[in-house]
Structure 1
């Protein structure tokens, strides 16, 4: 008798989500829906402005490369407070830029790109990631859970760098910067 394989534990894929968004965004210029040279303001007018931030000066390449200068909103929220993408960007732009054209890892960059995907396609970034990446690659156990905080069983525990258990975290805290789960 052969033993059944142990079920694969589920896990939050967190920042791997950025890879999916960074795959979707460059497909849009090929479809003539945007240019990576477009300013952020071309697609989200006025959203990325404040405290020295100016979406008119940042092209869409900047958040893809983490060179937009947008403050990482998770520095304020600890990555545990569910915010809408618009709330995340609005909080980020209350802080001065972290240095335009220099690499500065920022979850806000990918939250912003998720909003651009939604604006351009009329569909949520998870729907576009599923249609363009997850389904074609046959990743049948990868998804964006929306507001569902529980993970499919079995699963391990997830902890912050400070030791707080965030296994049952509302995945919307990360949005396009880290919402995916796999099992």
Structure 2
């Protein structure tokens, strides 16, 4: 995995974002969702794979309702250490704005029993454009799928909640505080 694009887009002398280095969890794979008030408010959904965080920008944020198909734009890989990043990316920097860790936790493949090597299965599923996984987060729980769309833009996907005991139609985004600092984006701005 390459963090070259991530590093090229950032000036680490003027942003507190971590420099891109490959690192892995010692046990379970992690995921993180960061609420990011940049030029447009969106949620950055990140899955650990092979020492980096594969990342998708979700303009409307994740949903626990299987009827909602959320557009997810795949962006550059982020370093594993980005999982804890909260703060303000200063004006003039790529992604300028405020960031909180809206949710985090661990994840497994939905079909864990059939996978001899989780990391290679994840890479294979990513290449095929269909990832099915179970999130064990503080807010997001249960099975989700990421499905790549066949459009002119190669980086467009959909994030969809599967029907399971965690599915529902309550707006999960109303839980708007960071799972690390208990602050909202608005508190961070102050």
User: TM-score scaled to structure 2, two decimals?
Assistant: 0.27
For the pair shown, which has the larger CA radius of gyration, 1 or 2? 1
User: TM-score scaled to structure 1, two decimals?
Assistant: 0.28
Q: Which has the higher contact order (CA 8 A, sep 6+)?
A: 1
Answer 1 or 2: which has greater strand percent: 2
